[in-house]
Structure 1
Amino acid sequence: MSVCWLFAVKYQGAWAVLLWPVLFTKCIPLDCPDEQGGLSRCPSISQEKLLDRVIQHAELIYRVSEESCSLFEDMFVPFPLRLQRNQASYTCITKALPIPSSKTEIQQISDKWLLHSVLMLVQSWIEPLVYLQSTLDQYDNAPEVLLNKTKWVSEKLISLEQGVVVLIRKMLSEEMMTATYSEQALFQYDVQPEMLESVMKDYTLLSCFKKDTHKIETFLKLLKCRQTDKYNCA
């Protein structure tokens, strides 16, 4: 029985909610640094175990993004404004990316493009999350737990990006794309909206991030399924 599991059981309840990102970060290492401080091809870790670790990281990021979105919603978004967001033309920043969306498209996409889709989504959110941290710091009554969750997700997203890069090299035996999608003009920082619009903008960011992290988790689990049971992954 693992020490991590025992520790998690011991601290059930409210403290577990606050501490579990730290616990899982220590229990499930993802990075494989080489002697120069970069990322090697992780020769000591099998492709299967590396994929498992990447999936575990994606699951945790999605769970924290879901909690962050719900917490922000409860704190700052009255119910009528939640309906307004659903009815208004708020667009996710990753909508322009060539990511499969329908069930048919996802089932037909190759393993290569599943991985590249994951990488595009991860990279496209790195800068917006940094921006989100800076805007949340300006809220007078933003709870510390929300700020900590956002910071944790931002850090773990970079770790996930590194893991996906190594996984692509292992599975596809190819060098990675040099362009990072976070550098594209997907997100604008120069607009200074009124407070209500600012809240809705942040709410949209959190909602879209939650949706995209769910896509990342789904794509990785589909990839895992294809490695073990190619013909029964519907």
Structure 2
Amino acid sequence: MHMVTVMQQGVWAVLLLPYLLTVSIPLDCREEQGSLSRCPSISQEKLLDRVIQHAELIYRVSEESCSLFEQMFIPFPLQLQRNQAGYACITKALPIPSSKGEIQQISDKWLLHSVLMLVQSWIEPLVYLQTSLDRYDAAPDMLLNKTKWVSEKLISLEQGVVVLIKKMLDEGMLTTTRSEQGLFQYDVQPEMLESVMRDYTLLSCFKKDAHKMETFLKLLKCRQTDLYNCA
């Protein structure tokens, strides 16, 4: 199926340098290159720092991906249409705190479990997004590579958060088994415009949730060092 034709082929090039910088930074739990799956041997403090760095990079690349997709495929009237239509994010039903007051009041345990819920809820949708973007006639390789990179690093982040929960909360043998609740169900092949808007919604919602993951982890770090100054 033919997808949207790009009107401005050169708009993505300006984002190439930030992308190269992000993918060149190793994301690991060891001093040398590796992955967050090597986390059991690292101290709790260093592990939290590495997980935060991981979340920061995921959010940064998700922000770049969303901006790139918007510039290439979403004319301004469609941006307004999306806002007016009130597209709901797939994680809206999760018991995740949203207001500043709620976030400040929840325990360290719920901060960590909120991050884990968000991470696990996005693993399947990002796989779908890669498949959907592959059908676009003129999607640049950089956009495809960004979504693939984020999808892979999200699984690594999941592993790191699971180990962090075990270390900080002493919750035994946590696994990375994901929810069977079916938050994400896109079985029918959508029409062209619907598909574009759906992908745009996914990217926009993931960017927001990636920012939440980063914020929750940084608040947790603050609580470990300066409990009374974490506003």
State if a TM-score over 0.5 links the two structures: yes
Which residue number corresponds to residue 8 of structure 1?
none
Equivalent AA in structure 2 for residue 17 of structure 1:
P
Which residue number corresponds to residue 165 of structure 1?
162
Q: CA deviation at 1:189?
A: 2.2
Structure 1 residue matching 2:150: 3-state secondary structure = helix
Alignment of 1:47-196 (within 5 A): 47-175=44-172, 176=174, 179-181=177-179, 183-196=180-193
Paired residue for 2:40, among 35, 39, 42?
42
Does the Cα contact within 8 Å between 2:165 and 2:171 map onto a contact in 1?
yes
Equivalent AA in structure 1 for residue 164 of structure 2:
L
Q: CA deviation at 1:118?
A: 0.1
Mark the runs of 5 or more structure 1 residues left unpaired by the alignment: 1-12, 33-37
Equivalent AA in structure 2 for residue 180 of structure 1:
R
**Pairwise CA RMSD:** 2.0
Structure 1 residue matching 2:63: 3-state secondary structure = helix
Which residue number corresponds to residue 29 of structure 1?
28
Q: Deviations over 1:123-154 (max 9, x none)?
A: 00000000000000000000110000000000
Q: Percent identity?
A: 78
Equivalent AA in structure 1 for residue 50 of structure 2:
R
Does the Cα contact within 8 Å between 1:30 and 1:159 map onto a contact in 2?
no
- Tell me the number of residue pairs that the alignment of Structure 1 and Structure 2 aligns: 214
Which residue number corresponds to residue 11 of structure 2?
none
2:225 matched to 1:224?
no
Does the Cα contact within 8 Å between 1:30 and 1:160 map onto a contact in 2?
no
Does the Cα contact within 8 Å between 1:68 and 1:149 map onto a contact in 2?
yes
Equivalent AA in structure 2 for residue 67 of structure 1:
E
TM-score, structure 2 as length reference: 0.87
Q: Deviations over 1:106-135 (max 9, x none)?
A: 000000000000000000000000000000
* Alignment partners' CA distance in 2, 1:70 and 1:14: 9
Does the Cα contact within 8 Å between 1:31 and 1:39 map onto a contact in 2?
no
Q: CA deviation at 1:185?
A: 1.1
State the 4+ residue runs in structure 1 displaced beyond 3 angstroms: 13-16, 38-41
TM-score, structure 1 as length reference: 0.86
Does the Cα contact within 8 Å between 2:58 and 2:150 map onto a contact in 1?
yes
- Report the CA distance shift for 1:18/1:178 in structure 2 as closer, same or farther (over 3 A): closer
